[in-house]
Amino acid sequence: MTLSIVAAVAALCAILADPAISVTSHPLLLVVSFDGFHPDYVRPDVTPHLARFRLASASPPYMRNVFPTKTFVNHFTVATGLYPETHGVLDNYMFDRHNRSMHYTYEQFHYNENVVPIWTQNENSGGGRHSGVMMWPGSEFPYQGKTSTHVAVYNYSTPWSSRVDTVISWIKDDKKPANLVFAYFEEPDNTGHVFGVGSHEIKNQIVRVDTTVKYIVERIKEENLENKINLILLSDHGMDTVTYDRIIYLDNYISNKTCKVEVTGPNAFINPNPGKYDEVYSNLKNASKTHGTFDVFKKEQLLDRWHMKNTDRLNGLLYVLAKPGYAFWDEYFKDLLKHTTKEKFKAGTHGYDNEEPPMRAFFMASGPLFKRNFTAQPFDNVDIYPLISHVMDLKQLASNAVRPNGTVAAVEQLLAERPGSRAGGPCAKGSLSVVACVASAAMTLRTASRYL
């Protein structure tokens, strides 16, 4: 066999492995989050496109998330691979350093300046890598002074199809094509909060998610990116429903004369005034024992498995967590009640223990890097950062950067053996196994429709 045949076949392999030469030369990954999408929402009759997508994907029955099962907490865990106590985002609403209410601020996402989200690490890895982040919680703040090349700030009014079109334009950008993109969609969470799980309103949003997945896949095919792009669909948490008779009024046990409260749904931080810590704790403890509808924790009593307590942000605070199906009265519930009656009140809520099945997150991965129609073992969302870092071949973190808590061990099960993979497939650089290379290239063609 002459060298020129080897070279020709190698070139063919390169073309087949990388047909869309107008985009990044790096592996290409789009991560899409649908807020509050529980894995059980995928049903052939309601979400036919997601059901078919699963057949082309590697997916576990559910993904384990972190406590508290809240939006900012889990999205930042996905972005950093860190537990909440290390990245510092402990809830959507929390106390700032002056003990004032804090919601979506630079400070909230900068507990530790050495924490580097993966969209930043992608760009730090050089070689013309560019990140795009569409409305992902925490994405428009700079980290170590850097924001992603392409960023869109959260805007509820931006139509979902425009968000998808913008993401595609980032991937196809002439000068700075994105190789790693994150996109966020606020449903079915938003509607689920108002109407509860099982409502026809939330079902409509689940269908809207399905239609959007169809649109994303269509756009990928139109742009001829099918054999290039990898697509991960995921969520941050599920949802449960609270009726009015299961609302807990903390005001019955503690007062704003002795403490400040920062509450959202089933979770609350309580900051006792100077000298009032023991009194506030014993009042809450008594109420918790009497009613059994919530638990109260001193910082050091928070469960180890939550990986939430070892942070200065909880110094001097107490924490209360409602039992499943219960929640603390807050401003949001007050607004909801204005539009309904106590009898009909049914609010969706989340934030409970991450071991509660209704709080579970979903995950599906499709594209050349991933196995198809593969039911994986459940893994943790802290493992997504190492997964992305591994498949995108990112640079080692700087020595002062905070190393992720997740590992690639539990997510390697998702990965396809692929031609030209770094594991050394038959088309790997320097390989002379031409027959195997051509055979696997033909296989790539036969399985061309990656997303069904």
Stretch that binds ligand NAG, among 81-89, 127-135, 204-212, 343-351 (CB under 6 A): 81-89
- Between the CA of residue 93 and those of 72, 73, 89, 97, 322, what are the distances in Å? 9, 10, 9, 13, 16
Q: Which does 236 bind (CB under 5 to 8 A by kind): Zn ion, ligand NAG, none?
A: Zn ion
447 binds ligand NAG (CB under 6 A): no
Range 276-315, binding ligand NAG (CB under 6 A):
283, 286-287, 290, 307, 315
Contacts of 427 (CB under 8 A, 6+ apart): 10, 13, 14, 17, 419, 420, 437, 440, 441
Structure token pair of residue 24: 């990044």
In this structure, are residues 125 and 119 in contact, taking their beta carbons and an 8 Å threshold? Answer: no
DSSP state of 59: E
CB of 69 to ligand NAG, least distance (A): 18
Binding test (CB under 6 A) with ligand NAG, winner from 62, 83, 306, 333: 83
With respect to ligand NAG, which residue has the nearer C-beta, 98 or 200? 98
Q: In this structure, what is the dihedral angle of CA atoms 231, 236, 238, 240, given to the nearest 10 degrees?
A: -160
Judged by CB under 6 A, the residue of 8, 21, 55, 432 near ligand NAG is 55
Could you tell me how many residues of this chain bind Zn ion (CB under 5 A)? 5
Question: In the complex, what is the shortest distance from the CB of residue 240 to ligand NAG, in angstroms, rounded to a whole number?
Answer: 25
Is residue 367 within 8 Å of residue 217, measured between CB atoms? no
Q: Which is nearer to ligand NAG, 31 or 58 (CB)?
A: 58
Find the binder of ligand NAG among 267, 405, 431, 440 (CB under 6 A): 405
User: What is the torsion angle, in degrees rounded to the nearest 10, for the CA atoms of residue 371, residue 375, residue 376 and residue 380?
Assistant: 110
69, 71, 191, 444: which is the annotated catalytic residue? 71
What 8-state DSSP symbol labels residue 143?
A: B
Q: Map the footprint of ligand NAG across residues 326-365, applying CB under 6 A.
A: none
- If one asks whether residue 99 binds ligand NAG (CB under 6 A), the answer comes out as yes
155 binds ligand NAG per the rule CB under 6 A: yes
Nearer to Zn ion, 136 or 143 (CB): 136
Instruction: Choose which of 256, 341, 399, 400 interacts with ligand NAG (CB under 6 A).
Output: 256
* Interface pattern 61-80 for Zn ion (x via CB under 5 A): ----------x---------
Residue 92 found at the interface with Zn ion (CB under 5 A): no
CA distance 180 to 232: 11
Which tokens sit at 189? 């969470």
Should residue 189 be labelled a site residue for Zn ion when binding is judged by CB under 5 A?
yes
Q: CB burial class (10 A; 0-12, 13-18, 19+) of residue 11?
A: exposed
CA dist 88 and 106 (Å) reads: 12
Cα 301 to chain center, whole Å?
Answer: 27
d(CA 133, CA 286): 46
340 is catalytic: no
Question: Looking at the annotation, which residues are catalytic?
Answer: 71
Interface residues toward ligand NAG, by CB under 6 A = 55, 82-83, 86, 98-99, 155, 157-158, 251, 256, 271, 283, 286-287, 290, 307, 315-316, 373, 402-403, 405
Residues that bind Zn ion (CB under 5 A): 35-36, 71, 189, 236
